[in-house]
Structure 1
Amino acid sequence: MMEGKEDEVKKIIYEKMSIEEVIHNLKVDVDNGLTREEVAKRLKTYGYNEIPEKKENPYLKFAKKFWGLTAWMLEAVIVLSYILHKYLDMYIILALLILNAVIGFLQEERASQAVETLKQKLRINARTLRDGKWQMIPARELVPGDVVRIRAGDFVPADLKLLEGQLEVDQSALTGESLTVSKEKSNMLFSGSIIKSGEANAVVVLTGNQTYFGKTTELVQLARPKLHAEEVTSQVIKWLLIIVGVALVSAFMVSYFIGIKLIEVVPLALVLLASSVPVALPAMFTISMAIGSMELVKKGVLVTRLSAAEDAATMNTICLDKTGTITMNKLSLTDVIPLKGFSENDVLLYGALASQEANHDPIDLAFLSAAQEKNIFLEDYVQKAFYPFDPKTRRTEAIVEKDGKTFKVVKGAVNVIADLTKEDENIFNEKAMDFAEKGYRTLAVAVGEDDNSLRVVGLAALYDMPRPDAKKFIEELKNLGVAVKMLTGDALPIAKETARQVGIGEKITDASQFRDIVGKDLDKAAEIAEQSDGFAEVYPQDKYSIVKSLQKKGHIVGMTGDGVNDAPSLKQAEVGIAVSTATDVAKGAASVVLTGEGLSNIVDLVKVGRMIYQRLLTWIFNKVVKTFQIVVFVVVAFLLTKKFIVSAFDVVLLLFVVDFVTLSISTDNARWSKEPDTWNVSGIVKSSMILGILVVLESLAILYIGLGPLGLKSDYNLIRTYSFSILFYFGMFTVFVVRERGHFWESVPSKSLLYIVLADIVIVTLLVTLGIPGVKPIPIVDTMVVIGLSAIFSFGINDWFKYLLLKGKK
């Protein structure tokens, strides 16, 4: 109790302290930050800047495997078996129930580890001053006394005390306040809040559990939204349950009329019903998504929402930011034009003074680098205030002092600087147009004692070269059926030249025209968005309108972004992609974060997403066909023979040995489709039902051979084993039939899937040939007949039917 009170007192003290007192108390070196040795000492004292996650008790998680619809049904069968004195069935079903729980638990643990890996890779970083240098470090390594720089788009990584600057902060996640709060020197910033505008330096005062609200920010969204596949499957299963219900009602009615006791039928009916309920579906999806997400990690793609990879499979349009995605995002000054009274060095000097290295802004770095190359020294100048680039103002400003005199420097878009200096924009436009036709971006630099005396110093041409592989990957995206649209804030001529160089297309629209139409005619705007190859002079709010317009036309849209103002469009898009240089807010809004630069990661995202889709489609097909076969085959055979050809134990055993393979579909070597995938409910239902009916008819034909030529009719226990074999081998071979949209031989299954199937077949072949308690052995010849006929029907007939049903969907 005393310790908790001390923590609260400490929090209140830091809030009331002046910044000078904090600096003294924490021994802060504002100019150089902490040394490596000091950080190591403080880490031992304060620990890492993180709040340990409360993990669910593993024993409780395992116990939950015995709670749910299928578990309840199997437990009911165990109780009924006890009442009917079928102790052998009871013990075996109990053993299988426990074994199934163990396998499910281990698979979900594997998925949880994958999510944890993603969380580790998506930790927030912080710009920190250490050993006299600004560097990006994981936020968990911050300690009290660290000097950090925060700016618009950042999550506040710890409790901070502002050293200087003014900020607008969103604390809604902590306090529920909907309006932003203004912060200035000596104010506290609390961990988990968001910087909406401005930038400043601050000192870390509290970390981890000690923070005021005790909150750290995670970029991985643990809440799993409803997936398209789940919606589709729920509809399929709804109809399947109706069919199962009709079949079971028929079985009960016949049992009543032929004198079979209903209590003898109930255990089997319960198990058949359990076999039709897709209770493993959420686990299957989570495992598939988690494994797919880990595949993407290796390719430099991190998902913040597990369903994002599946969404990428259906994406048919992507809007790409030009800078950093299509181009190198490494600006260089290629030409400088000074105006009368100024030199080239003046343009570089004042441009560099209107920049700041700590921000890692490409334009700022280009001016600073050019000034350094020309040996222009900035040490004599003191930057008293700095106003970073804002998409609304499209400029950066600084108040600079030298020898006791202060002046103002500004750099930004030509039209913006012309307006500030009251110059005629047309004077600069001709030269800017010449630069634009070469793909160069033109900025103007101005200097003056104040806003009223600003004069244009000169123009600077910056070039951001397209990535060498951009054209290749854009062509690959188009070949995958994804329409590519380029978005850029650059002028129309620059946008057209870049689009021409990388093969995007020639129809580039000025965003100002689109902006006007959005306010008047949404349908017309949607048409323009759909027909355009890209947009120039784009503002962040335009991106949101473009995404909405494309969605209005029925497109599944992907969007790349990096800034705080990109967050709405990233959230609105089905696939929001934050590039590697994105702000924390952009990463938090996106469903995908790239760790590498360029387009190759996006191509990988589409391909892996479609592979995951194929695995899910395989699972759905297999589940519907298998369920239909088990239930309808057993009930139809019962109506024909007046006997249940399998027992409750047989069905439970069957569910186990086949479902074990089903989970391994999540690792299969699925092929990505050449076109965006779509969830066609009617197509899935039609295809799976047709295939299911075919498999039932074939199963009945093999059963007829067993009852006739093979002479099993006289021994009911032999018929049960023989029927179990039919259901099992069809279940194994159907996995290979439905895993490939083309013919089964067109792709090779994964080793894990293949090995598990082979192991399963060997084990069950030995089981039905040698027998176990509850399963009477059948001759090996009979087993080979079932294997041979099941293989011929599956690969010789069913595969062709499936191919024709799915033709054109590859």
Structure 2
Amino acid sequence: MKTVTNQVDPALAPSTPSPGTEPVIASASLPDTLEALHVNPATGLTRGGVEASRKEHGYNEVAEQNEHPILKFLGKFWGLSAWMLELIMLLSLVLGHYSDLAIVSALLVINAVLGFAQERRAAGVMATLRRRLQVSARVLRDANWQVVPARELVPGDVVRVRPGDIVPADVRLLTGTVSVDQSALTGESKDAHKSAGEVLSSGSVVRRGEGNGVVLLTGAKTYFGRTTQLVQIACPKLHIEAAIARLVRWLFVIVGALLAVVTVLSLVRGTPLVEMIPLVLVLLMSAVPVALPVMFTVSMAIGSAELAKRGVLVTRLSASEDAATMDVLCVDKTGTITMNQLAVTGVIPLEHATESDVLFAGALASQEADQDPIDLAFLVAAKAHQVFNGVPAVTPVSFAPFDAKNRRTEAVVEQNGQRLRVMKGAVRTIAEACGLQPAAIEALEARVSASALKGYRTLAVARGPEAGAPELVGLVTLYDPPRPDAKQLISALHDLGVPVKMLTGDALAVACEIGTGVGLPNIRRAADLKAAAAQTGNPATDLLGGADGFAEVYPEDKYLVVQHLQAAGHVVGMTGDGVNDAPALRQAEVGIAVSTATDVAKGAASVVLTEPGLTDIVALVEQERTIYQRVLTWVINKISRTILKSAFVAFAFVVTGEFVVSAFAMLLLTFMTDFAKITLATDHVRPSRKPETWNIGGFVAVSVVLGVVMVAEALLFLYLCWSRFDLAPIHGVEDKPLHTFSFLILLYFAVFSVVSARERRWFWSTRPSKSLMVALAVEALAGSILGLVGLPGLPSLPWEQMLAIFGYALVSCLVVNDAVKVALIKRLVPTAVV
């Protein structure tokens, strides 16, 4: 064999094509291509040849063009929160408040650094997940077929493409005929038909047919200048964004109304307007969800990383909230409920055939390179029975893979100079191809039904001359046993409020046998669903609601099932693996590509499993409900504390005629509390036992009541301490103890209200995470030190007064307010305490 160098002949090198022309390499002949690449199509490249080619051409990937980190950091100084801070800085400069200017500048920089650091961390996690979702390819190396990541392909590699594959590089077909979808690359919606010698462009999708090809160009050298990316992280508008946008608008209305009253009264009392503007801006800023983007991003990154450890890769942000609200899950039987380890359990010869004849024909109608479970089961059985021993050599001529429309595989082979046609597939399909009469077909199906009652799947095998009707030679039963944990996990999902519906192409009897064994006894035919849907005034959703699954399902039927469930108001999860599953996976709110899925199915899904079975789906539901609860805690706390800060300042001004807290103190408070709440992303949360919903009107009502109660408590304490703590301001003195008092009471209320709000039951029901406890402790300690030592504009307070403020806030939040919270939630949101 020649030494493999994999150097591309200059004549084959790609050039920049002008519009409407093909690159030069597309016009080279097949023999010239193989000669230039120094590859033997029967054995593929050697390990040494692959390594030498990779040193020359690199990996089959295109470097991502990421935004420069400095530009991303500078972007943190642009936005509503940043604008308000910068305006406060400008006003401080104009008014000559240089200490305020310095501190606000420091807070602005700290805000940018924290946000940038956390988002970089989250981006790193998501980049790792994307790398795990790279396209795989079947490649022939050292005469052995293997599956490798597409990025490891090099020019000269011999690959096999099948329906559902994304072509991983520019490939010239060696054998076979395929139809490919090039719409993502050329904009043409019509499939292109390619035969031996033609080029398949990187990024196109194989729709029908299969064949072997040789890799011409990889990475940035491909015609389109890049490898197709399997997963595009979509950024649709999330339900949570819409819900929080509505909340923020209402918070602005509430705060704006209160401040309007304060402004009018200030002007009546002769307070200089320019002195009021900084405080007004700070109070308006309190309605802005400063920490939410970072908290949500960190929560998502932590959740995604945790799921990735368990074999669940979340590829679209919308899947996180949808998985939390999902209330029905449709699953494939094979590989999800069963082991996906088909084995031949019986051979039934017909007429004058023998078991060896049946296995011999069935093995010829199979293809090892496809790694199809049914094909492998036939090949393993044929090898075990040694059916090829002593048989004249057989040369493959053509092979037609399984197609959902004809439900069979078919091959033409040559033996002793004669061509033989063999096929295997669904019993009725093969029987009709053999020309059997309806009575004979019914008799065959009766025999199949007996096997199906045991959970066996039966296929028919036929052979005959290349031209003319084949002869049915026998039946073969296969069995794919249920996974040992399937019944337990289906029960676990049901307990989480997510009923499972099994979808399978198997006959009804087989589906019922498997379904009964895993706790899904009520299985119906897909034809019943379609018939009910076609009847006017007969809602198919009733049929769906009462069924545990459907048998005899074609891939396109899955899309119908998803549509009907969504029409009934369900949030649907759907598992799939084939190219024909892609529409259903895309339509479902939570499309889940199983571990054996094709590249197209993975691209259409929002979640990809790397391990078989349902275990990871249970983990997905629980993890995303945990994230939901963390975000809900933030929402509850944000509403109540925004009402507390704005209403406390407004009503105190109405009563005392004084601004009880300075703009600087309020600004410091906002950042200390908001960024401590980022650690809510790590909090220990008990996921709900029922699907979540973003119809959170009950929780909003609870939050508003808690906010009003805290305002009343803070004003009451201010009244009690006005004379005892000598808080009355002295005319002409800027450092007012009143400012420090108000700063501390708002700070301590913020700390303890988080401890209460994080739990829907009594606050001690679960322990906060270490990160959250440390953050809250540091926040309280830092505020206490500031109150004890003092700063310009925040004079020190005696420790006895600080201790009294601390104790009052603790009792108010963790005794009185916690009892109010529990009572309100039981009344307004009873499902939250289940």
Q: TM-score range by the shorter chain?
A: over 0.9
- Aligned twin of 1:417: 430
**Where does residue 744 of structure 2 map in the other structure?**
725
Q: Which residue of the partner structure matches residue 780 of structure 1?
A: 799
CA contact (8 A) 1:447 1:457 kept: yes
Q: Aligned residue for 1:572?
A: 587
Contact (CA 8 Å) 2:591, 2:605: kept in 1 or not?
yes
In the TM superposition, 1:734-773 aligns within 5 A as: 734-773=753-792
- Specify the alignment match of 1:649 in structure 2: 664
CA distance in 1, matches of 2:290, 2:752: 23
- Please tell me whether residue 179 in structure 1 is matched to residue 195 in structure 2: no
Q: Which residue is equivalent to 2:825?
A: 806
Partner residue of 2:409?
396
490-499 vs 751-760, greater mean Cα deviation: 751-760
AA aligned opposite 2:745: I
Residue in 2 aligned with 1:238?
Answer: 249
Are residues 1:168 and 2:182 paired? Answer: no
Which stretch of structure 1 is more off in the superposition, 690-699 or 404-413?
Answer: 690-699
State the shift of 1:111 in Å. Answer: 1.1
Q: How big is the shift at 1:722?
A: 1.0
Q: Which amino acid letter does the alignment assign opposite residue 295 of structure 1?
A: E
Question: 1:27 — aligned with what?
Answer: 38
Partner of 1:432 in structure 2?
448
> In the alignment, residue 820 of structure 2 is paired with which amino acid?
F
Quote the Cα distance in structure 1 between the aligned partners of 2:536 and 2:676. Answer: 54
Task: Measure the CA separation in 2 of the matches of 1:703 and 1:520.
Answer: 70
> How far apart are the structure 2 equivalents of 1:343 and 1:591?
48
Which has the larger displacement, 227-236 or 465-474? Answer: 227-236
AA in 1 matched with 2:463: V
What is the CA-CA distance between 1:594 and the residue it aligns to? 0.2
Q: Is the 8 A contact 2:14 2:25 kept in 1?
A: no
What is the deviation of 1:216?
Answer: 2.2
Is 1:480 matched up with 2:496?
yes
Identify if the C-alpha distance between structure 1 residues 263 and 475 changes in structure 2 by more than 3 Å, giving closer, same or farther.
same
Verify the 8 A CA contact 1:702 1:726 in the aligned structure 2: no
Q: Secondary structure at the match of 2:43?
A: coil
Contact 2:636 2:703 in 1 (8 A): yes
CA contact (8 A) 1:507 1:534 kept: yes
Contact 2:220–2:227, Cα closer than 8 Å, also in 1:
no
Identity percentage over the alignment? 50
Q: Please list, as runs of the form range in 1=range in 2, the aligned pairs for 1:303-342 lying within 5 A after superposition.
A: 303-342=314-353
Q: Secondary structure at the match of 2:62?
A: coil
8 Å contact from structure 2 (residues 14, 24) kept in 1? no
More displaced, 230-239 or 10-19? 10-19
Name which of 475, 483, 488 aligns with 1:459: 475
2:4 corresponds to which residue?
none
1:520 pairs with one of 535, 541, 547:
535
Cα distance, 1:6 vs structure 2: 6.3
Whole-Å separation in 2 of the counterparts to 1:13 and 1:21: 13
Task: Tell me by how many angstroms 1:46 deviates.
Answer: 0.4
The letter for the 2-side match of 1:480 is L
How far the C-alpha of 1:400 sits from its partner, in A, is 1.1
Aligned to 2:634: 619
Name the stretch that deviates more: 703-712 or 262-271. Answer: 703-712
1:293 equivalenced with 2:304 (yes/no)? yes
Q: Contact between 2:327 and 2:691, CA under 8 Å: does it hold in 1?
A: yes
CA distance in 2, matches of 1:305, 1:708: 58
**Corresponding residue of 1:494:** 510
Contact 2:171-2:213 within 8 A present in 1 as well = yes
State the Cα distance separating 1:317 from its structure 2 match. 0.3
Aligned residue type for 1:573? A
Find the aligned partners of 1:761 and 1:522 in 2 and give their Cα distance: 63
Equivalence map 1:56-455=2 (5 Å):
56-377=67-388, 380-423=393-436, 424-450=440-466, 452-455=468-471
Letter in 1 for 2:226: K
Name segments (4+ residues, structure 1) moved above 6 Å: 3-6
Output one character per residue of 1:89-122: Cα deviation in whole Å (capped at 9) or x when no partner: 1111111111111111111111111110111111
CA contact (8 A) 1:323 1:329 kept: yes
Q: Secondary structure at the match of 2:23?
A: helix
Residue equivalent to 2:15: 8
CA gap of 1:806–1:450, structure 2 versus 1, over 3 A, is farther
Separation (CA, whole Å) in 2 of partners of 1:493 and 1:5 = 57
**Aligned mates of 2:12, 2:725 — CA distance in 1:** 83
Match of 1:585 in 2: 600
More moved, 66-75 vs 512-521: 512-521
One-letter amino acid matched to 1:465: P
Structure 2 counterpart of 1:110, one-letter code: R
Per the TM alignment, residue 124 of structure 1 is displaced from its structure 2 partner at its CA by: 1.0
SS of match in other structure, 1:509: strand
Partner of residue 814 from structure 2, selected from 795, 800, 804:
795
Tell me which moved more, 268-277 or 447-456.
447-456
Task: Provide structure 1 residue ranges, at least 5 long, that are not aligned to the other structure.
Answer: none
Query: What CA deviation, in whole Å up to 9, does each residue of 1:537-576 have, x standing for no partner?
Result: 0011111111110111111110000000000000111100
C-alpha distance in structure 2 between counterparts of 1:223 and 1:350, whole Å: 47
Distance 2:90 2:128 in 1: 42
CA contact under 8 A between 1:89 and 1:774: conserved in structure 2? no
Q: Judging changes above 3 Å, is the alpha-carbon distance between structure 1 residues 481 and 349 closer, same or farther for their aligned structure 2 residues?
A: same
- Alpha-carbon RMSD across the aligned residues, in angstroms, is 1.7
Q: Per-residue deviation at 1:705?
A: 2.9
Once residues 592 and 521 of structure 1 are traced to their aligned partners in structure 2, the CA distance between those partners, rounded to angstroms, is: 36
| Separation in structure 2 between the aligned mates of residue 383 and residue 521 of structure 1, nearest angstrom | 52
CA displacement at 1:72 relative to structure 2: 0.7
* Residue 704 (structure 1) aligns with: 719
3-state DSSP of counterpart to 1:645: coil
Q: Secondary structure at the match of 1:639?
A: helix
Closer, same or farther: CA 74–525 of 1 in aligned 2, 3 Å: same
Deviations 1:162-188 (A, max 9, x none): 111111111111111111111111111
Distance 2:161 2:173 in 1: 10
**2:563 matched residue in structure 1:** 548
Choose the corresponding residue for 1:558, options 573, 576, 594. Answer: 573
- Per mean C-alpha deviation after superposition, the further-off stretch among 753-762 and 219-228 is 219-228
**Separation in structure 2 between the aligned mates of residue 787 and residue 522 of structure 1, nearest angstrom:** 65
CA distance in 2, matches of 1:42, 1:303: 34
Secondary structure of the residue aligned to 2:539 is helix
- Contact kept, 8 Å, 1:236 with 1:681, in 2: the verdict is no
User: How many angstroms apart in 1 are the aligned matches of 2:12 and 2:215?
Assistant: 21
Contact 1:530 1:553 in 2 (8 A): no
3-state SS of the aligned residue for 2:398?
Answer: strand
Task: After TM superposition, give the deviation of residue 712 of structure 1 in Å.
Answer: 2.5
Which one-letter code corresponds to 1:252 in the other structure? Answer: T
Question: C-alpha displacement at 1:451, in angstroms?
Answer: 5.5
Distance 2:646 2:638 in 1: 12
TM normalised by structure 1 equals 0.97
Note if contact 2:586-2:605 (Cα within 8 Å) is conserved in structure 1. yes
- Structure 1 residue 9: Cα displacement: 6.5
Structure 2 counterpart of 1:596: 611
Deviation at 1:309, TM superposition (A): 2.0
Q: d(CA) in 1 for partners of 2:16 and 2:548?
A: 59
The residue matched to 1:708 in structure 2 has which SS? helix
Report the AA paired with residue 685 of structure 2.
A
- Conserved? CA contact 1:289–1:310, under 8 Å: no
The answer to whether the 8 A contact 1:125-1:136 is kept is: yes
- CA–CA separation in structure 1 for the residues paired with 2:591 and 2:812: 45
Q: Does 1:686 align with 2:701?
A: yes
Q: Distance in 1 between matches of 2:50 and 2:753?
A: 60
Name stretches of at least 5 consecutive residues in structure 2 with no aligned partner: 1-9
Question: Structure 2-normalised TM-score?
Answer: 0.95
Q: CA deviation at 1:623?
A: 1.5
